[in-house]
């Protein structure tokens, strides 16, 4: 389901490092060479390239990329070259800063990543920033939003699967959710507890019970209060936990359709999902918009930035 295309015969990391070193030398940077290598290597391969580059040239590859590249292309290459947990730690940190605050990205990371991957991202966050994600989220939020976000980023969910779902519990908790939502008790402890602690498979079963029993999805029930930021975050958490490909399609659609493309959102989704479920996101995008995602991105971006994104989508000519 990943869109990343890796060649059948991958060069040794020593060869890739040498080619990247050459790409940085001379008067102009060879951006095409950088794309042809980094956009066609998986996380483990990119990590090896970074290690070999540091050993052979006594330089940090990320620093070299930062020095040689600029703009949206630089951001895409830098984010992609990071290890996934490093990348999530960086994105989470940016989302807690005053001028780049983004509660939606925090919800996205907490709810779309597998439990162990999210835990490792929080370890990377602590190692790099000398503070915990929970601490920063608690400090930079307040009121009802803090009440939802702190448990969301603090949890270590049981991953679980459909075979382990407790149907009796799903039915009971569907009734609890319906009661709280019809009462507009959106910040109720039980509602938050269910959404922030149950496994994704259990939540999916509960929400299926909800729809079967009460005739509409939980997010339809929440729609009438969707101007409220807390309710929007609640809906985002539910969508990310149950249908991450639909959530990411919506982020991409809004980023592309916005007056002046939202390159940050576009870059974030492409770099974080190319190795995970981008093929499903592409299918969802085509179904929803009747235009292939690669064509939409090609029409909305340009230059090396466009080439990098298309490569990660599996649509370049390398």
Residue 303 labelled as part of a binding site = no
Does 23 show up as a binding residue in the annotation?
no
CB atoms within 10 A of CB 241: 23
User: Is 249 known to sit in a ligand binding site?
Assistant: no
Q: Which residue has the tokens 């079963």?
A: 205
Contact yes or no for 82/90 (Cβ under 8 A): yes
| Residue labelled with tokens 């101007």 | 227
Annotation-wise, does 260 bind a ligand?
A: yes
Name residue, tokens 């407790």: 166
Q: How many of the other CB atoms lie within 10 Å of CB of 147?
A: 14
Contact 298, 306 (CB under 8 A): yes
Residue 300 CB partners (closer than 8 Å, separation 6+): 256, 261
Any binding-site annotation on 143? Answer: no
192 annotated binding-site participant: no
Tell me the H-state helices in 141-228: 143-154, 167-182, 189-197, 200-214, 218-222
Instruction: Write the Ramachandran bin of 58: left for phi over 0, alpha for psi from -120 to 50, otherwise beta.
Output: left
| CA distance to 109, 248, 256, 303, per residue, from 295 (Å) | 27, 17, 11, 14
The SS3 assignment for 315 reads: coil
Alpha-carbon span 308 to 70, nearest angstrom: 13
Summarize the annotated binding site for Ca(2+) as residue ranges.
24, 26, 28, 68, 256, 258, 260, 298, 300-301
Binding residues: 24, 26, 28, 68, 256, 258, 260, 298, 300-301
């Amino acid at each position: 389901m990943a869109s990343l295309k890796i060649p059948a015969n991958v060069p040794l990391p020593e060869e890739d490092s040498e080619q990247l070193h050459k790409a940085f030398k001379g008067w102009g940077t060879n951006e095409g060479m950088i794309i042809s290598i980094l956009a066609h290597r998986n996380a483990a391969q990119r990590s090896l390239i970074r290690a070999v580059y540091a050993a052979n040239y006594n330089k940090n590859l990320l620093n070299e990329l930062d020095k040689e590249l600029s703009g949206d292309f630089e951001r895409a290459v830098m984010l992609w070259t990071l290890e996934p947990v490093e990348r999530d730690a960086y994105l989470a940190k940016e989302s807690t800063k005053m001028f780049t605050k983004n509660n939606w990205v925090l919800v996205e990371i907490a709810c779309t990543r597998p439990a162990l991957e999210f835990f490792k991202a929080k370890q990377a966050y602590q190692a790099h920033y000398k503070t915990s994600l929970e601490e920063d989220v608690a400090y930079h939020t307040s009121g009802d939003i803090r009440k939802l976000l702190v448990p969301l980023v603090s949890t270590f969910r049981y991953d679980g699967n459909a075979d382990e779902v407790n149907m009796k519990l799903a039915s009971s908790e569907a009734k609890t959710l319906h009661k709280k939502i019809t009462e507009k008790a959106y910040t109720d402890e039980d509602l938050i507890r269910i959404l922030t602690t149950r496994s994704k498979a259990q939540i999916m079963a509960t929400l299926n019970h909800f729809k079967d029993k009460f005739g509409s999805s939980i997010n339809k029930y929440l729609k009438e209060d969707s101007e409220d930021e807390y309710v929007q975050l609640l809906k985002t958490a539910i969508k990310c936990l149950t249908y991450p490909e639909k959530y990411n399609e919506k982020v991409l659609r809004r980023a592309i359709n916005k007056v002046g493309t939202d390159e940050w959102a576009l870059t974030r989704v492409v770099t974080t999902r190319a190795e995970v479920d981008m093929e499903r996101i592409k299918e969802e995008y085509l179904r929803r918009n009747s235009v292939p995602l690669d064509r939409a991105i090609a029409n909305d971006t340009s230059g090396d930035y466009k080439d990098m994104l298309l490569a990660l989508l599996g649509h370049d000519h390398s």
